[in-house]
Amino acid sequence: MPLVLATQAPGEPEIFASVQGEGPSAGMPCTFLRLSRCNLACVWCDTAYTWHFAGDERPHRDGVEFDRAANQLTLGEEEVAARITALGQKRLVITGGEPLLQAPALARLLGHLPDVTVEIETNGTTRASPALDIRIDQFNVSPKLAHSGNPAELALIPERLDAYATDPRAWFKFVIAAPADLDEVLALRDRYRFKPDHVFLMPEGTDSETLRDREQWLAPLCVEHGFRMSDRLHIHLFGDTRGT
């Protein structure tokens, strides 16, 4: 099966060069590959065009339904690899949606890209196939808390979180909308023994004002508990836009 990609514009795959905006690699130049489809449905998702298509009854706060044909396309691995290579970056961030839903095709893609460092952005509910796993240098795992609107039995899979917690390539990035969300993070930290210096707290928000307001109370919580704080650099630089 070919890869199923999100689009920057109808018919144009979302493959672009930029700087990483979040997590442990923030500020590093890279190529982004955004895939389509997700097994979760976060009510505040800022890439709902990868999954909230017409007829999808899962809730989203904006209530917008996207046309699948305009927001999703398929491409063969060789063409995707050629587009990535043409951008000239040594680091590749594969995001979504949930990219690990397409693990077999990703493994084939990376066979055409032997010299890139690979990050996977994942919600932590699934695993990379063995053929893909050996090519991944960094997992950016973002378990979804209750305010995402996802039931815990779908969003927090003990077997998967146990595996990521013991993988030195894994970093954990929690989206925080209110101070009370930290209680869930602390409970997950204790249950799965996450290393605090591998845990990032990141404010939920799609505009600079909201991010800055929330960082005012988020930074002291990071200091108190030994967590790291992640900004969202791409929002400050480009706004909430595709292909950035």
**pLDDT confidence of residue 1:** 79
**Amino acid, single-letter form, for residue 244:** T
Mark the ranges of the chain whose per-residue pLDDT is less than 50: none
In percent, how much of the chain has pLDDT > 90? 99
Alpha carbon distance 59, 61 (integer Å): 7
10 Å Cβ neighbour count for 62? 11
Q: Half-sphere exposure of residue 159, counting CA atoms within 13 Å on the CB side?
A: 5
Instruction: Flag whether the pTM goes above 0.75.
Output: yes
Q: Half-sphere exposure of residue 54, counting CA atoms within 13 Å on the CB side?
A: 7
Q: For 58-106, how does the pLDDT look when each residue is reduced to its tens digit (9 = 90+)? A: 999 998 999 999 999 999 999 999 999 999 999 999 999 999 999 999 9
Q: Are 33 and 49 in contact, with CB atoms under 8 Å apart? A: no
